[in-house]
Every structure is written in structure tokens, then in C-alpha cells.
Amino acid sequence: MLTEAVVRESLREEVLARLPELSETIYEFWVPLTNERADVVAIGTSLWAFEIKTHRDNLARLPRQVAAYSRLFDRFALL
């Protein structure tokens, strides 16, 4: 089974390396005015949020996370 660390490393190698004009990557980013957290945020020509879900995660928070992410980020992805 995949752990969050393995997914995060794959994200770093396969996705973040290909984002155009990536200038900063932030891990464990707390979304302002909410109690939601994005696992990885990529700042470049657009703002990306990545939420990592593994077999150990509960999907109950996902609707709140999507609402918070949609107010702040240009794009977000669930991994």
C-alpha cells in the first residue's frame, strides 16, 4: 500500500517537475480563514493545491477541503 510519503515523492518527481514556471512549493499549507490544509501547494504562473489521500485517510473532510481550495487556488487535484 502507498504511504503519503511515497505519493508525495512521486508528485515531486512526476508532476511538480513538469509545472511551467514553478517558483515555490509549500508542504502542509493551511488555507486562510478555514481550518483546512493542503498537503502540497505549488506556486508559479498559477496556484495549485494537491490533496493526498491514502488508505489511512477518511474522506469526510473532502467536501470542506474542495470548498476551501476552490476559493483560493486556480487548480487543485486529489491524489
Q: What is the pLDDT averaged over residues 25-35?
A: 93
Q: What is the pLDDT of residue 43?
A: 94
Give the chain's domain count.
1
Which pLDDT band, with edges at 50, 70 and 90, does 56 fall under?
confident
- Better pLDDT: 1 or 10: 10
Written in H, E and C, the secondary structure of the chain is: CCCHHHHHHHHHHHCHHHCCCCCEEEEEEECCCCCCEEEEEEECCCEEEEECCCCCCCHHHHHHHHHHHHHHCCEEEEC
Domain range for 17: 4-78
- Mind listing the pLDDT tens digit for each residue in 46-55? 999 999 999 8
Q: What is the pLDDT of residue 2?
A: 86
Residue 29 has pLDDT above 90, yes or no: yes
